[in-house]
A and B are shown apart, each in its own frame.
Chain A
Amino acid sequence: MSFLEFRGVSVAFGRYVAVEGVGLRLAPGEFVSLVGPTGCGKSTLLNVAAGLLTPSEGEVWLEGRPLKGLNPVAGYLFQQDAILPWKTALDNVALPLVFRGQPWREAREKALVWLEKVGLGRFPHHYPHQLSGGMRKRVGLAQVLIANPRLLLMDEPFAALDVQTRQLMENELLRLWQEDRKTVLFVTHDLEEAIALADRVVVMSAGPRSRPIGDFPIPLPRPRDVAEIRLTPEFLRLHREIWDLLRGEVMRAHAGA
């Protein structure tokens, strides 16, 4: 049985149909990357999976049941900064536990452990505006992971980072994922990142009426190092194969825009 399943999901904004008839299944513990040209509806699909957006047609199924309202097992790392600017890094990470009724003291102790896991153990009392973009993303990651969600939705989380920080974060993500194998739906417009991280890469067509048009298993061995794996012949072969399909969509999106 699949853990998360899109069944004939369509989303329209007014008269603009962003995605149409999307079918997609994620097995438990699977890491799936979703790639596609900008504006094809990747964020829209994540919002649907999180329960923030109700599809105009179709449903999302979660562990064999249709999803109603907010997704209770999902952690969502948004494309934009979503941590609270008025709370310190530590309090931001502690917050999900406080929402679940734990006292602040206890929550902060656990939060500090998570800050250390994402390499921010030395900055617990910094406010978001005092941290760099990459550090804020890590706070966001720790904040999402501390609640131990079984489904992780990530929307171009590393897009704004420089190459070095980015590879660091990608490896960190893989290491954390290796620990308990959550189901991950990872959105990116960077094909290399998609392949390096995932078990499967799904390609979306250009919008409007976008839907998945390609589904590629990534049989690269784990554990992986994202920088090294990019140099292997198998990676290059996969990259060429998927890019052949993706390129056409990117061109179409470009022409349409």
Chain B
Amino acid sequence: MRGLRVRLWQLGLLLGFLAWWEWASRTGRIDPFFFSKPSDIALRIARWFGTGEIYPHLYITTLEMLLAFFFGTLLGVALGLWLALAPSVAAVLDPYIKALNAIPRVVLAPIFTLWFGLGVLSKVALGVTLVFFVAFFNTYQGVKEVSPVVLQNARLLGARRSHLLRHVYLPSAASWIFSSLRTSIGFAVIGAVVGEYLGSAAGLGYVIAQAEGVFDTTGVFAGMVVLMAFVLALDALVGRVERRLLAWRPRAEGGEG
């Protein structure tokens, strides 16, 4: 089976990399102070979960990113639909959207902290500014790409505006929206973690910042690994929903396993 072979290679690559890292660190080829080593990182993660000290932070980060993901997507899809279906409004708003999107989001973090405090809200706001534009542009594009013939056909068959939205525009834009969801998850995490990193009292970004403060590279790497696992899990979840909702599409070549 080809799928199995690919999996074995993937696993081998990971183990090889970890083994090399461990070996290089133990034999002093790389400085453990700067690079830590996999066994330490694994132990640290095990301790975090063992004592349960990581859970409150994990909870806060999860909450922030889910909220940012949800509201950013909701706003993005809604505005994307609206502007795509109302070209005159889109023409008016176009420069403003471009201008807003041109702001590097990181500089917003201190302002959001001022406005919304050190808690969850400021991180959600930061995440929303990132997620929103991804969802917005993809939805807009997706709606614009609806086949004109399919659209005319539906209209002649008696579809009213709400029907078109439900049966034509949204399903047609769905593949764009889903691909945007997967990018959005990453952005939601960035919003949450960067926000925490720059000023907060809880969350994985805070944990990483604390560890960095005392030159605890093991803590930094452990935080990164937990984040990574978390994003992968969410991505897989979205992938599942996507496969269900987009069952109508011809199977793409390759794919997962």
Contact = CB atoms under 8 A, between A and B. Distances in A.
Contacts of A84: 150, 154, 167-168, 171
B248 A75 contact: no
A136 to B, nearest CB: 12
B75 to A, nearest CB: 25
10 contacts: A76-B153, A78-B152, A82-B147, A82-B149, A85-B248, A87-B171, A96-B158, A98-B163, A127-B247, A147-B157
Nearest to A74: B156
Interface residues of B, number: 23
Contacts of B155: 70
B250 interface: yes
A78 B171 contact: no
Interface of B: 147, 149-150, 152-160, 163, 167-168, 171-172, 174, 246-250
Contact of A100 (B153, B154, B158, B168): B158
B186 to A, nearest CB: 27
A52 to B, nearest CB: 6
Contact of A95 (B147, B152, B157, B174): B157
Contacts of A70: 155-156
Interface in A65-114: 70-71, 74-76, 78, 80-88, 95-96, 98-100
Nearest to B156: A76
B132 to A, nearest CB: 26
Contacts of A147: 157-158
Contacts, number: 67
Majority-rule SS of B interface residues: helix
A82 B167 contact: no
Contact of A129 (B149, B163, B174, B250): B250
Majority-rule SS of A interface residues: loop
B157 to A, nearest CB: 4
Contact of B153 (A78, A98, A127, A129): A78
A54 interface: no
B158 A99 contact: yes
Contact of A52 (B152, B172, B248): B152
Nearest to A130: B250
A82 B153 contact: yes
Nearest to B172: A86
Nearest to B168: A84
Given A82-B150, A87-B167, A99 B248 contact: no
Contacts of B172: 86
Contact of B248 (A76, A80, A87): A87
A143 interface: yes
Given A82-B149, A86-B172, A87-B167, A99 B157 contact: yes
